[in-house]
């Protein structure tokens, strides 16, 4: 079995607060890996570390075979073109319209003709369920759900192998949230993606996730199928999954 992400003995310290200590996890190719945990337990920090947005204080993180500690500029750039990230609030570039947002990585990293780039953008918009006519809108003109979809289209622009989702369904109404879950499942199958997501949405966790990791007290306290979660005796798990287990 090939691992896409391997985290070993991770340590993170903020000032005098230890966030992670001895944290280990492995993410398999092709799975949807969900991370849950109480607020302040360092879920987002963990994702940021995998994305090289934050330095780690100990241990190793390997993503797609690259060891992130001491990675060279060239390798880091290669790695960054192989993943896509959906931020919580979308993080679309506010000075560019949707088309330009999605086309930007294609323009920067490829020498494709403009016409083909436009076709790619239209295709990506269509798979996330947006119309080509939305492409000329600016991020400030979009609703929350459309922002997430547009941002997902941008994350998919370079056909990544690995997709990071930070609370993909937060701020969406239940119907859009379920649509979004279905979209993620569909994309995983079409594009052979490996998905890493942080979520608080129980329905979404049950519907999409293959492997669930629970992070609490600086460590991963559970790592496995959602259905066996009831075997773990932990206050957070008991409260969070109340009614489901």
Partner 1 sequence: MDTSSLEIIYTGNILSLVFEGELTLYNIAKLQKKIETLHLNQEKKVVLDFSKVTFFDTASALMIYALQERIFQNAIELQILSASKDISDMIELVKKHKDKIKATQEFKQKSYLEILGRLFYEKYLIFLSFMAFLGEFFTSAIHNIGIVKNIRYKEIFFEINENGIKAIGIISVTSFLIGLVVAYQSAYQLKLYGANIFIVETLGLSILRELAPLITAIVIAGRSGSAFTAQIGAMKITQEIDAMMTMGFEPFRFLVIPRVVALMIIMPILIFIADIMGILGGMLIAYKDLNISTTLFIDRFNDVIEAKHFFIGIIKGPFFAFLIAVIGIYRGIGVKDDTQSIGINTKKSVVESIFAVIMCDALFSIIFTNLGI
Residues that bind partner 1 (CB under 8 A): 48, 51-53, 76-77, 80-81, 83, 85, 87-89, 91-94, 104-105, 108-109, 164
170 vs 210 by CB, closer to partner 1:
170
Q: Within its chain, how far is the Cα of 52 from the centroid?
A: 13
Nearer to partner 1 by C-beta: 110 or 231?
Answer: 110
Q: Which is nearer to partner 1, 151 or 226 (CB)?
A: 151
Helix residue ranges, H only, 110-201: 114-127, 144-155, 174-191
- For the bound state, the minimum distance from the C-beta of residue 81 to partner 1, rounded and expressed in Å, comes to 6
| Least distance in angstroms from the C-beta of 63 to partner 1 | 12
Write out the two tokens for 198: 């942080």
In 3-state terms, what secondary structure has residue 70?
A: coil
Judged by beta carbon, residue 91 or residue 191, the one nearer partner 1 is: 91
Of 52 and 191, the one with the shorter C-beta distance to partner 1 is: 52
- The token duo for 154 is 């941008």
| Token duo for residue 58 | 């100990």
Residue 145, Cβ neighbours under 10 Å: how many? 19
For residue 105, the minimal CB distance to partner 1 (Å) is 5
Q: How far is the CB of 207 from partner 1 (least distance, A)?
A: 26
Alpha-carbon span 179 to 132, nearest angstrom: 19
Q: Is 183 helix (H, G, I), strand (E, B) or coil?
A: helix
Shortest distance in whole angstroms from residue 87 CB to partner 1: 5
Residues 86-102 as b or e (16 or more Cβ within 10 Å = b) = bbeebbbeeeebbbbbb
């Amino acid at each position: 079995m090939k691992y896409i992400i391997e985290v070993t003995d991770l340590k993170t310290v903020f000032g005098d607060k230890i966030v992670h200590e001895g944290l280990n996890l492995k993410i398999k190719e092709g799975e949807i890996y969900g991370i849950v945990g109480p607020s302040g337990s360092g879920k987002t920090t963990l994702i940021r570390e995998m994305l090289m947005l934050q330095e780690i204080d100990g241990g190793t993180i390997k993503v797609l075979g690259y060891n992130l500690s001491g990675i060279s500029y060239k390798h880091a750039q290669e790695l960054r073109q192989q993943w896509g990230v959906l931020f919580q609030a979308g993080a679309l570039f506010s000075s560019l319209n949707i088309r330009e947002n999605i086309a930007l990585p294609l323009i920067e990293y490829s020498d494709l003709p403009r016409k083909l780039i436009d076709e790619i953008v239209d295709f990506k918009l269509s798979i996330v369920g947006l119309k080509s006519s939305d492409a000329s809108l600016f991020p400030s003109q979009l609703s929350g759900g459309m922002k997430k979809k547009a941002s997902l289209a941008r994350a998919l622009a370079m056909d990544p192998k690995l997709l990071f989702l930070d609370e993909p369904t937060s701020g969406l109404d239940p119907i859009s949230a379920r649509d979004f879950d279905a979209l993620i499942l569909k994309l995983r199958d079409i594009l052979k993606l490996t998905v890493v997501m942080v979520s608080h949405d129980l329905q979404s966790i049950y519907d999409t996730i293959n492997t669930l990791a629970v992070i609490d007290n600086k460590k991963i306290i559970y790592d496995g199928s959602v259905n066996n979660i009831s075997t773990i005796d932990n206050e957070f798990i008991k409260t969070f999954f109340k009614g489901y287990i």
